[in-house]
Each structure stands twice: as C-alpha cells, then as structure tokens.
Amino acid sequence: MNIALIAHDRKKQQMVNFCIAYQKILEAHTLYATGTTGKKISDATGLKVNRFLSGPLGGDQQIGAKIAENSMDLVLFFRDPLMAQPHEPDITALLRLCDVHNIPVATNIATAEILLKGLERGDFHWRTI
Ligand SMILES: O=C(CO)COP(=O)(O)O
C-alpha cells in the first residue's frame, strides 16, 4: 500500500512518535510524506520515506495528484486545528480529493491508530482489487 504521512508543525512530534510506535506496520508499505514531515520521520526511525515538497510550497498538492491518479491508498494527516495555515486551500483540496476517490484519511492520531490497526488486519485489501 502507498501511505501518505503529513503533519503540521505543532503535530510533527506526535507524528514521529506515532511512526516509532507503528514502525513494524509502516515498514511493510511504501511511504510518502510532505518535505519536513518526511525528513523528521526518516531521521527518527530510519524508515524510507519518499518526500514531496514542503506543504506550503505545494507538497499537499503533489499528494493530491497521487490520489487523483489512484496511486495513494491511505492518508494520515495530523492537522493543527488551532493554527491558521497559509496554504489552507491546498489542505482543503487534498481532503476533498480523498472524498472524491474514497481514500481512507485520518486527520488526527486517534483515527490514524484505528486505520493502521485495520491495515494490519487486512481491512484494506479491497484497495488492491
Ligand atoms: O504543511 C504541511 C501540510 O499541510 C506539512 O508540510 P511539511 O511536512 O513540509 O511541514
């Protein structure tokens, strides 16, 4: 499965901790991330992460393009709901494309944990059909 990992600045440490906790599951998949998030994850875990541009410079849009091409199976996006983002339209567009293409998307760690447990259990095999 192709998994996108994205975190806003005040959620990045949480994303790193999440990736450490679920490294065993994540390492069996192909990981993608926005620029800064991906660097922090790979530095902390050694996981191979394919990095796009930083979010404000177009990284969310690049991940959106992968979704539109049916090349992304799962999106874990730890958003900061208490901080305005300069690239808010890009974020909205990315989440919209998840809905257009029925891509499972978590916008907080609680949902992300449930999705990864489902992934481990094989709940997403339908994505490969
Ligand atoms: O802004 C982001 C997502 O909207 C994340 O981008 P970075 O991972 O480059 O900080």
pTM for the model = 0.97
Number of domains in the chain: 1
Whole-number Å distance, alpha carbon 7 to ligand 1 midpoint, is 6
Binding site membership of 64 for ligand 1 (Cβ less than 6 Å): no
- Domain range holding 85? 2-128
**CB burial readout 18-31, b (16+ within 10 A) else e:** bbeebeeebeeeeb
Annotated active-site residue 60? The verdict is yes
Among 60, 62, 77, 108, which is best to mutate for testing ligand 1, by the most ligand atoms less than 8 A from CB?
A: 60
The CATH number assigned to the domain holding 6 equals 3.40.50.1380
pLDDT of residue 129: 66
State percent of the chain over pLDDT 90.
Answer: 95
Distance CA 129, CA 126 (A): 5
- The model's pLDDT over 95-122, given as tens digits with 9 standing for 90+, comes to 999 999 999 999 999 999 999 999 999 9
